[in-house]
Amino acid sequence: MKEKVLEKATELFLTLGFKSVTMDDLAHEMGISKKTIYAHFENKTKLVEESTSHLFCRISTGIDTICALQKNPIEELLDIKKFVMQHLKDEKSSPQYQLQKYYPKIYASIRSKQYEMMQHCVVNNIKKGIAMGIYRENLNIDFVSRIYFSGVISIKDIKLFPPDLFPTNKLQDDFLEYHLRGIITPEGRKILNNLINSNQE
C-alpha cells in the first residue's frame, strides 16, 4: 500500500503542485482513509520528501539506461530530455517553484542530488562527443557542464519564463538546441539537423 500511496501522491504533486495537494485530496483520490496514509507517512512533509526522492531515483535509473545504450551523444541528450519530460508530466503546475517555496530543505537536497547526477552524465556526454568529433575539441568541459545544469534549473523559474509565454515542451526543446549548437562541430550540426527534422515529421 505504501508504494501505491507514493505513486499516486507523486502523480498528484506533479499535476497539481506540492502545496495544492492535501492529504484529504490524496485519500479521496485513492478511495482510502487518511489514517491509512498516516500509517505509512507521519505527515505531508515526509510524504513530499519520499515522493521527490522516489521520482529522482526513477528518473536517474531511466537516464542511466539511456546512457548505457551508447547512442551518439546528441541523440542521447534528446532522448534524455524526452524521457524526463514524460516523467515530469510537462510540469504544468510548476512543481519546482512550489517545492522551492514551501519545502526549501527538500528542494535543496534534491537539487544537490540532481547536480551530482547531471554533472556525471553531461561530462561523460561531452567527452564522448569530443572523441567522436561531433563536439568541439577546445571545450572547457567543466564550464559547459555547469552552464548546462544552471540552464536546466533556470528555465524552470516561472518568473523568468512564464508558462503562458514559454510552453514547457517548447522551452525544453529550445534550451537543448541552444546548448548543442554552442558545442557541436560541422559534423555534429548535420546530425542535429537530421534529428530535429526527423522529430518534426
Q: What is the dihedral of CA 8, 77, 156, 26, to 10 degrees?
A: 0
Arithmetic mean of pLDDT, 42-65 = 94
pLDDT at position 93 over 60: no
Share of the chain above pLDDT 90, in %: 76
The long-range contacts involving 118-124, CB below 8 angstroms and separated by at least 24 positions, are 118/145, 118/148, 118/149, 118/152, 119/145, 119/146, 119/149, 121/63, 121/67, 121/80, 122/148, 122/149, 124/67
pLDDT-based confidence at residue 156 (cuts at 50, 70, 90): confident
- Specify the pLDDT at position 158: 84
Q: Provide the pLDDT for residue 90.
A: 52
Question: Residue ranges of the domains in the chain?
Answer: 48-200
* pLDDT tens track for 108-139: 999 999 899 999 999 999 999 999 999 999 99
Question: What local confidence, expressed as pLDDT, does residue 35 receive?
Answer: 93
Domain 48-200, CATH class in plain words: mainly alpha
Mean pLDDT of 71-79: 95
Question: Per the structure block, which three cell numbers stand in for 138?
Answer: 577546445
